[in-house]
Amino acid sequence: MHIITRKRLLDFSEKHPNTAAPLDVWYRIVKQSKITSFSKLREIFPSADKVGNLTVFNIGGNKIRLIAAIHYNTQCLYIRYVLTHKEYDKERWKES
């Protein structure tokens, strides 16, 4: 799957250095996968949830929330937000 954009992961891990390894693992798994549906995605990431048209990933022992738009037909995943659990709980990301 093609991931747009890895820069958000790198920027987040720069601010939160302890998140670099789990984000890198997530990135490598998604990059190497051909995911054709949400149900197939849940086979790889059982804690992933749909919120409207977006998918929310729990990464790093539930410390990181990655919110993405996934287009299974074109194999593109657009990273919209990478947040700490605390930032995610404020739900400001839903306003954009």
Q: What is the pLDDT of residues 42-53, one digit of tens each?
A: 999 999 999 999
Question: For residue 65, what pLDDT band results from cuts at 50, 70 and 90?
Answer: very high
DSSP one-letter string for the chain: -EEE-HHHHHHHHHHSGGGHHHHHHHHHHHHH----SHHHHHHH-TT-EEETTEEEEEETTTTEEEEEEEETTTTEEEEEEEEEHHHHHTTGGGG-
Q: What is the pLDDT of residues 17-40, one digit of tens each?
A: 999 999 999 999 999 999 999 999
CATH number of the CATH domain containing 80: 3.30.2310.20
Q: What is the pLDDT of residues 81-90, one digit of tens each?
A: 999 988 877 7
Domain that holds residue 78: 2-95
Query: What's the pLDDT at 96?
Result: 65
Q: Is the pTM of this model over 0.85?
A: yes
Structural domain total, the chain: 1
